Structures are given as structure tokens and as C-alpha cells.
Amino acid sequence: MTWPEAVRELVDLRAFGKCEYCLLDQADAGFPHQIDHVISRKHGGTSHPDNLALACYLCNRYKGSDIASIHPGSSELVRLFHPRQDRWAEHFRIVGPVIEPLTDIGAATARVLRLNLPARVIERKLLQTLDRYAKA
């Protein structure tokens, strides 16, 4: 999808150029960050900025049109993290190079978006040594 320049700029600036799911800085990504429909269009989400988030290529790819997942313990439906309505630090924390979920929402999001795939953790560890990624 091609976005109007003003929308792209708003989403970039609002997120300080970082993926709103894994916090990877756009400057450190191999592919440009993308604009994610937090609630995908097929689920009725709009292209209003309140439903848009900056996402790195991998987070956006793994999230796809998903908006929820199944809690592994209770089998209940758990919605994914919503960058416009939720605070990142309430649902996740950084432990070493790992993004550790703090809530069911964080756990569902980390699983669906594969936030802690070994290659992603290694990349974060490297970025931390370069002071390019937050440290715990």
C-alpha cells in the first residue's frame, strides 16, 4: 500500500523511527519499517492514524492480519498488543537481549510476532553492544 507522505511522516515521527512492537530502530533495519494496520482492514480496521503503527518488516510480516491469539494455558482468546491504546512497558520488558512479556497480551504478541526468534535476539544483542538498542 502506498501511503500519503503526510501519513508516513506522522507515523514515523510518532514512533521516533522505532518499530512499535520490537523497538528496532529504522536506521538499524535491513528493510524500511512499514505502516501496520493495528486492527487489520479485514477485521474492520481503518487507515486512520489511530489505527496505524510503525512496524519493522519482520513484525509486520509475522503479525499479518492477526489481531489475537489463543492463550496456551487457558485456551482463551487474547488480543494482541495495540500500540495506540497500550503502553509497551506494561506488556513487555527487556531482559538482556530478550523481550520478555509481562502480560497475556504481551505473551500472545511475542509469540505471534516471533519477537524472540534466535536471529532477532542475536541482532538485538549486537545492537546493544553498539548502544543502538535499549538495555535492561
Judged by CB under 5 A, which stretch of 8-16, 51-59, 62-70, 116-124 contacts Zn ion? 51-59
Output 22 or 78, the one with its CB closest to Zn ion: 22
- Specify the DSSP element, H or E, that contains 39: none
Tell me which of 11, 15, 18, 22 binds Zn ion, using CB under 5 A.
22
**Which triple of cell numbers denotes residue 41?**
482492514
Mask for 53-92, x = binds Zn ion (CB under 5 A) = ---x--x---------------------------------
DSSP 55-77: E-HHHHHHHTT--EEE-TTT--E
Output 77 or 102, the one with its CB closest to Zn ion: 102
19 sits near Zn ion (criterion: CB under 5 A): yes
Tell me which of 21, 81, 92, 133 binds Zn ion, using CB under 5 A.
21
Q: What's the Cα-to-Cα distance from 112 to each of 8, 27, 64, 109, rounded to whole Å?
A: 25, 24, 9, 5
Residue 91, phi-psi category: left (phi > 0), alpha (psi -120 to 50), beta (remainder) = alpha
